[in-house]
Amino acid sequence: MKNNLKHIAIIMDGNGRWAQKRGMSRSMGHKKGASTLEKLAVHINDLNIEYLSVYAFSTDNFKRSKEEVDYLMNLFIEMFNKKFKKLQLKGIKVVFSGDKNGLRDDVVNSMDNITKETENNNGSVLNICLNYGSQEEIIRAANRYHNDLINNKVSINDINRDNFYKYMDNDLPPIDLLIRTGGEKRLSNFMLYQLTYAEIFFIDTLFPDFTTKKLDKIIDNFYLKDRRFGGISNEKKTNS
Ligand code: IPE
Ligand code: IPE
Ligand code: MG
């Protein structure tokens, strides 16, 4: 049977190096990366894949220069207020994971606007992780669960690994396929809970150079994987 592909996630890495290789400022890489993301989101929606989660800005990215952080925040505003109109037309629903506290008011306003504008859309869900850290998200989830407990909305025995997802920033299904561009083989505090059984593809392509064609190849490969989830593959079962 064909593997189920409901949720793709992308760690969009390599924007800075893409620009520096061309003698441009790192910011130009982020700008090109934003266009790449738009194309990928539309393509994934066209493929009828229900969820796409992308790592746009980690909580730890605040360690970067003020100039780079300011550029990124202004780019996000431009994306959510104007550039992403195409996503809206395609029926994509935009949601955010991460901590809105600690983000500028104008950034939060643009996030709230696009969330509101797209909330009734029926296309795929684009989950943008912004000021996001996975350990922080798990702590927020634990706090939400604790609140439900003290308000008697849930009992201590009700919680399990499947329904704990509802306490996350968004109630999304587990990730089936993760792609990290840019050559690094690490997760950098991205969706650790949701990635438990994901198939992971680390590729050297820098994010601005990532294309829908390259994505299609990875998806073809994903379908060939024997996803055992701790069990035994169907083929081997018949031999025992
Ligand atoms: C990823 O690209 C985008 C963000 C972290 C915002 P980088 O900016 O990390 O690019 P590299 O890894 O330095 O090339
Ligand atoms: C992860 O990339 C964050 C995003 C892609 C937004 P980083 O470039 O911040 O990760 P490290 O520092 O290489 O681990
Ligand atoms: Mg990087």
Q: Is 59 in the pocket of ligand 1 (CB under 6 A)?
A: no
Q: What pLDDT is attached to residue 1?
A: 74
Q: What pLDDT is attached to residue 236?
A: 66
- Within 8 A by CB and 6+ apart from 37, the residues are 12, 54, 56
* Mean pLDDT on 57-71: 98
Mean pLDDT estimate for the chain: 96
Place of tokens 């996001």: 132
For residue 186, the ligand 2 atom closest to its alpha carbon is 14
How confident is the model over 171-212, as pLDDT tens digits?
999 999 999 999 999 999 999 999 999 999 999 999 999 999
Ligand nearest to the CA of 129: 2
Q: What pLDDT is attached to residue 184?
A: 98
The closest alpha carbon to 135, from 175, 178, 195, belongs to 195
How confident is the model over 69-108, as pLDDT tens digits?
999 999 999 999 998 888 999 999 999 999 999 999 999 9
* Mean pLDDT on 45-69: 98
Q: 43: which 2 tokens?
A: 């393509």
The span from the CA of 19 to the CA of 33, in Å, is 10
Q: Is 123 in the pocket of ligand 1 (CB under 6 A)?
A: no
Place of tokens 């490969």: 221
Percent of the chain with pLDDT over 90: 94
The pTM for the full model equals 0.97
Question: CA dihedral defined by 233, 184, 137, 63, rounded to 10 degrees?
Answer: 180
Ligand 1 centre to CA of 14 (Å) is 5
